[in-house]
Amino acid sequence: MNMLEIEGLNVWFGTARDRVDAVKAASFSVAQGQSFGLVGESGSGKSTILRAITGLAPTWSGKITVAGQPVLAKRSKSFFKTVQMVFQDPYASLHPRHSVDQVLGETLYLHGFKDIDARVVKLLDDVGLGQKFRFRYPHQLSGGQRQRVAIARALAPEPTLLLLDEPTSALDVSVQAEILNLLVDLRQEHHLTYLMVSHDLSVVGHMCDSLAVMKDGEIVEIMDVAALRRMEATHPYAQHLLQASV
Amino acid sequence: MERLLDIENLWVKFPTRQGIFDAVRGVSFSLGRERLGIVGESGSGKSMTGRAILRLIRSPGMVEADHINLDGENILAKSEKDMRAVRGQRISMVMQDPKFSLNPVMTIGEQIIEAYRLHSKASKADAHAKSLEMLEAVSIRNPERVMRAYPHEMSGGMGQRIMIAMMLIPNPEILIADEPTSALDVSVQRQVLDIMDRLVKERGMGLIFISHDLNLVADFCDRVLIMYSGRIVEVCEADKLHEATHPYTRGLLNSLPRLDAPKDRLEVLRRDPAWSEAASVSGRV
């Protein structure tokens, strides 16, 4: 079964003269349990696809299907239980005046969980932080620890599809290795499906099973990671991107 | 080799409630007409080293050094007023994040023209033409439109290229680039590096390239200093970076995912407290 299906997705910003078509007729599908990568240069629309799925970019047309359910303009509560997103910059995506406990507790409360205390403890253990970080504020955490909190928050509603928007690009390579290992482990433990945006082809090669290459809002090529490793891209832009990243 | 910049025993200190924190601890290196890379993780003191050279560290932060010589002149002895003639004109710096380094309420054009006219007596029309030319040089597709735009209308990659254009327009002797390409895509990264490379060669500039990206530095620079907790742990020729011997450098190299060598788990760096105790290696030539 396909966890996520996207058909003829268009996303635009602005109107008339200022209209920018950020995504043009994008189509792809991600099978249950798969990890799918979106690569391309900045402004190619890869993050916009994630934002359109979650509802952060409200002006879109086309068809988005998550776990067999078509996504409508008004997203249901169950949608947000199924789909969660981890953002690029852990320095910007956590509320500076909320402790880790508040961040996770509020998410759990909003999703109607009753055993919040036990779940906060479990979430922190799951992302390898442990209890002593529970009452800290974001400024008392390093970048890697913050990203772990952001991942814990995304895991709180027990989603099946995680949207990862450049989850390690703000981190050091040594910390990146830890977070990527964590994401690989979590995917196995929780049977998650990943849709990951990255500009780093080697990160996508490490994390994903297949990927789509985007340019100027269009998907120019979809290939699997084996082909990526063999450097077998057919579209000239994809070839150019492969060469530039080695 | 001619020494543009010569630094001996540089310390950067910050007083905190827990006592004095040493961000940079006794670093020595020199810069010729070359591309010198400084790599290390966040918190290793690489950005602080760059800022100390321009005397951008403000009180209560303290900069101490035996000397920081720019063409034989110790810039630590200069007055704040004389420093203004150094900053931008002789040593220029491209900062990490265009979002925080560009003025949000001025158009790009106004900012570049201001940077140019501050150091030269050019007329507004000349400055405008020169700015357009510079924007084109950093491969911005539609410079006329960009000149009229505000920073928030630019993508991160464009913002960074605008910063580079602005810093290069007064034609400095030394360019300090602090993670100039970390916000850029691989394809654009190459272009920006090529532009900087050309300038270093054509104008005989010295470049200090601060980055956390080992592969990029190995590829782009001539010589590399590897910093860890405020000290230089290893100095090597950039093309021999992959043969580096220090366990910290090796750990960083091994933690990178590679397309040509897939593995299930990435290696995680194990830190040895002895690394931060060992004396700093000199990077002077």
User: How sure is the predictor about A233, in pLDDT bands with cuts at 50, 70 and 90?
Assistant: confident
pLDDT average, residue stretch B251-261: 85
Mutate to test the interface with A, among B161, B185, B252 (most CBs of A within 10 A): B185
Residue A223 amino acid letter: M
Closest chain A residue to the Cα of B261, Cα to Cα: A229
Mutation for B interface: A42, A89, A207, A224, most B CBs within 10 A: A42
- % of chain B with per-residue pLDDT over 70: 98
Rounded CA Rg of chain A: 18
Contacts of B268 in chain A (CB under 8 A): 174, 177-178, 181
Of A173, A201, A246, the CB nearest to B256: A173
pLDDT in tens, B187-235: 677 777 887 788 778 878 899 999 888 888 888 899 999 999 899 999 9
User: How does pLDDT run across A99-124, given as a tens digit for each residue?
Assistant: 999 999 999 999 999 999 999 999 99
ipTM surpassing 0.90: no
Of residues A40, A174, A228, nearest to B259 (C-beta): A228
- B275 and B249 in contact (C-beta within 8 Å)? no
Give chain B positions within 8 Å (CB) of A203. Answer: 257
**Contact partners, residue B179, CB within 8 Å, separation at least 6:** B47, B96, B210, B211, B212
A157 or A1: which carries more pLDDT confidence?
A157
Dihedral (C-alpha) B168, B172, B176, B182: value to the nearest 10 degrees? Answer: 10
pLDDT given at position A142: 83
B214 touches chain A (CB under 8 A): yes
Max Cα distance, chain B (Å): 60
- Residue A76's pLDDT band, with cuts at 50, 70 and 90, is confident
Q: How confident is the model at residue A91 (pLDDT cuts 50, 70, 90)?
A: confident
Decide if B189 touches A, using CB distance below 8 A: yes
* pLDDT per residue as tens digits for the range B55-83: 998 889 999 999 999 988 899 999 999 99
Q: What is the 3-state secondary structure (H, E, C) of B129-143?
A: HHHHHHHHHCCCCCH
Q: Is residue B46 pLDDT above 80, yes or no?
A: yes
**How many Å lie between the alpha carbon of B218 and the closest alpha carbon of chain A?**
12
Partners of residue B41 in chain A, C-beta under 8 Å: 172-175
Instruction: For residue B103, report the phi and psi dihedrals to the nearest 5 degrees.
Output: -75, 120
* Distance between CA atoms of residues A45 and B205, nearest Å: 37
Token pair listed for B263: 């593995």
**In the predicted structure, residue B256 carries a pLDDT above the cut 80:** yes
Which of B187, B267, B269 is nearest residue A241 as measured by Cβ atoms?
Answer: B187
The answer on pLDDT for B183 being more than 70 is no
Nearest to B256 among A178, A202, A246 (CB): A202
Question: Are the Cβ atoms of A229 and B252 closer than 8 angstroms?
Answer: no
Residues in A closer than 8 angstroms to B214, CB to CB, are 173
pLDDT of residue B1 exceeding 70, the answer is no
Q: What is the mean pLDDT of residues A136-151?
A: 89
Mean pLDDT for chain A?
90
Collapsed DSSP state (helix, strand, coil) of residue B138: coil
Pick B155's closest partner by Cβ from A42, A175, A201: A42
CB-based contacts of A161: which residues, under 8 Å, 6+ apart? Answer: A3, A4, A30, A66, A67, A82, A83, A84, A192, A193, A194, A195
Banded pLDDT at A246 (limits 50, 70, 90): low
Q: Which residues of B touch A180 (CB under 8 A)?
A: 257, 266
The reported pLDDT for the residue numbered A222 is: 93
pLDDT of residue A171: 80
B268 contact A CB<8A = yes
| Per-residue model confidence as pLDDT tens digits over A3-52 | 999 999 999 988 877 888 889 999 999 999 999 999 988 778 888 999 99
Give the model confidence (pLDDT) of B124-156 as tens digits.
Answer: 999 999 999 888 877 788 889 899 999 888 877
Residue written as token pair 């539609």: B142
Find out whether A174 and A204 touch, Cβ atoms under 8 Å.
no
The reply to whether B74 touches chain A by the CB within 8 Å rule is: no
Q: By the CB < 8 Å criterion, does A183 face chain B?
A: no
Nearest chain B residue to A39 by CA distance is B185
pLDDT over 90 at B258, yes or no: no
Distance CA B123, CA B136 (A): 20
Instruction: Check: CB of residue A36 under 8 Å from CB of residue A91.
Output: no
* Tokens 């994903």 sit on residue: A208
